[in-house]
Amino acid sequence: MKKSYKSLFLVLSLAVLINACDGQGDSLINERLEDNPLPQTPEYTAGSADFSTYIAIGNSLTAGYADGALYTAAQQMSFPAMLATQFSAAVEGDITFNQPDINSEKGFNTVVENPQNGQILGRFKLDTSIPGPSPTIGGEAPTAYSGPQVHNFGVPGIQVGQLLTPATGGPDSPANPAFNPFYQRFASSPSQDGATGSTIIGDAVATQPTFFSLWIGNNDVLGYAASGGANEAIFTSAADFDTRFNATVNTLIANTQAHGVVSNIPFILGLPVFQAVRWNNITLDATTAGAINQGVQSVNGAIQACANAPLNAITAEDAARRLISYSAGDNPILAIDEELDDLGPCFDNLQTFGQINAQQRAALVPYEQSRPMVAGELVLLSAGSVLGTPFNGNADQAIGVVIPLGFNADGSLSGDQFYLTLAEQQAIEVRRAQFNGTIATAVAANSSRLALHDTNSPTGVFYDIFGLSDGVPGITVQGVNLAPDFSPNGILSTDGVHPNPRGYAIIANEMLGVIEAKWGAMLPRINVINLPSVVVCGVGDCVSEL
């Protein structure tokens, strides 16, 4: 009996000890949790916004255009598609967000001549041997969209005025400059006469959205900039932009109950299309520089003669800016400048007066309106494929070095399309500021329903990307440094203008922050680094490899 009592005592003692340890363990766990709480699943909310029917209105940036084309993978990673996914976390059930799917792996390249040699070219990929963009082979022309009602009304290439006119949907005619095939393919009623039919803004309003994003106006200034300042016709005036942008906003406000986020126009001159090729991109060794200088002595002599008496055709200052001189290292690109006085008549007089012969006069034709570029001028990316190549098959006459960039074999001039002068840049920046003033005023006038996504904020991502905040271009995201270019660690696509998926995600995340601040929402962010950057050419995939 005593043995049994002892056993029972041991069992009871052990139970008490275990219970005591359990209690002590629970206490320790609770103390640790208080000091180091477990991560909680965020409770996402739309705040006072209603994301149930979200639409996006804009141009190529909204459409998801990238790499010089609209293609399936890029559309799927458009910033509106990303926003819709994040909005879904704060809405019961899934948000329906349909895009006018292009259903093409490589799309249709709108930057290069297309089709080329009977072959349709698709999106750019990065050719590391250049290094630079190269079109892919096996592209496809856009076909009509036959899917469900769209919610992404982003149309590549449009200006703000094209949101408002039926002519954007047709007809496809040289007499209709407003026509855009990317709208025609999904327009609810493509115009047959340019006067009747659907409009982009009308189709957007017809969805009766509860929330929208509007990012339009970039092309009203970017088109002019991308032409090298050569096409004034596509440089929208401040007055026209004001009228058209306000008409767009007023249509949305008057015909829907939707709230929306409106983006303005960022610093476009910081894009790779204007930054990838330097103004002093001609790198020479001392021997080559000396040989070229010897060869252009006659050109410099003729220019100087035009400034001297008795001709006095140009000033000494004008002559000095035209003279050609190279040294070891980096040198300015020699380019056509159609704003210069034409020295053709002066060179003719030199021949008439017997100072040069007919052969020498013919050799001076490329230099009648040429000069070396100066610091601060911006060279377009398109010049990169031309610089240093033989002129008219002559390896001794490299374009941009011996023969001015923009002088064509038939004697015509196209220098303006390759670069932006300081004066042209100033005009672009003044116009951009005017457009942004219009946008800000329109948002302020409807502040109860609209929020401004200011792409020019000193604390915003664009300031970081373009180095406007600290002079160092690039942005750090999730501990990773990303460059404002189309390199593998860049955030731009290979067309030098449009973001790659990482770039679009950075923009979308900033918009989400604006939306949260305005409507008291709480929304998830996109994992930028998990998204791809650029795609490199595969074997036989790109034109450059054929």
* pLDDT over 50 (residue 10): no
Task: Classify burial at 94, counting beta carbons within 10 Å of its beta carbon; exposed 0-12, middle 13-18, buried 19 or more.
Answer: exposed
pLDDT tens digits, 414-464: 998 999 999 999 999 999 999 999 999 999 999 999 999 999 999 999 999
Six token digits for residue 244: 């058209």
Average pLDDT on 257-273 reads 97
**CA 65 to CA 433: how far, in whole Å?**
25
**CA 345 to CA 322: how far, in whole Å?**
16
pLDDT above 70 as % of the chain: 92
The pLDDT of residue 39 is 58
Six token digits for residue 61: 């940036």
pLDDT tens digits, 282-318: 999 999 999 999 999 999 999 999 999 999 999 999 9
* pLDDT over 50 (residue 109): yes
DSSP 231-290: -GGGS--HHHHHHHHHHHHHHHHHH---EEEEE----GGGSHHHHSB-TT-EEE-HHHHH
SS3 string, 19-75, reads: HHHHHHHHHHHHHHHHHCCCCCCCCCECCCCCCCCEEEEECHHHHCCECCECCHHHH
List strand residue ranges (DSSP E) for 99-255, in order: 121-127, 132-137, 152-154, 211-215
Place of tokens 């038939």: 410
495, 67 in Cβ contact below 8 A?
yes
The pLDDT of residue 165 is 98
The pLDDT of residue 32 is 56
Q: Could you state, in order of their start, the residue ranges of all structural domains in the chain? A: 54-164+199-274+423-545, 282-375+378-420
* pLDDT over 50 (residue 6): no
* pLDDT over 60 (residue 526): yes
Residues 6+ apart with CB under 8 A from 245: 160, 216, 217, 435, 438, 439, 442
pLDDT tens digits, 205-247: 999 999 999 999 999 999 999 999 999 999 999 999 999 999 9
**CA 307 to CA 309: how far, in whole Å?**
7
Going by pLDDT thresholds of 50, 70 and 90, the confidence category of residue 28 is low
The pLDDT of residue 27 is 58
- The model's pTM is 0.90
The pLDDT of residue 545 is 66
* pLDDT over 50 (residue 390): yes
Six token digits for residue 300: 């410099």
248, 164 in Cβ contact below 8 A?
yes
pLDDT tens digits, 461-504: 999 999 998 889 999 999 999 999 999 999 999 999 999 999 99
**CA 216 to CA 64: how far, in whole Å?**
14
Six token digits for residue 94: 């899934």
Place of tokens 């996109």: 526
How many other C-beta atoms lie within 10 A of the C-beta of residue 271? 24
DSSP 8-state assignment for residue 399: B
Mean residue pLDDT of the chain comes to 92
What value, to the nearest 5°, has the Cα angle with vertex 108 and ends 107 and 113? 155
**CA 450 to CA 264: how far, in whole Å?**
13
The pLDDT of residue 16 is 37
**CA 217 to CA 432: how far, in whole Å?**
9
Could you tell me the sign of the dihedral formed by the alpha carbons of 455, 460, 462, 468, in that order? positive
Question: Amino acid letter at 357?
Answer: N
CATH number of 54-164+199-274+423-545: 3.40.50.720, 3.40.50.20, 3.10.450.50, 3.40.50.1110?
A: 3.40.50.1110
214, 256 in Cβ contact below 8 A?
no
What value, to the nearest 5°, has the Cα angle with vertex 522 and ends 518 and 525? 105
How many other C-beta atoms lie within 10 A of the C-beta of residue 188? 13
Q: Is 396 in a helix, a strand, or coil?
A: strand
Going by pLDDT thresholds of 50, 70 and 90, the confidence category of residue 18 is very low
pLDDT tens digits, 312-340: 999 999 999 999 999 999 999 999 999 99
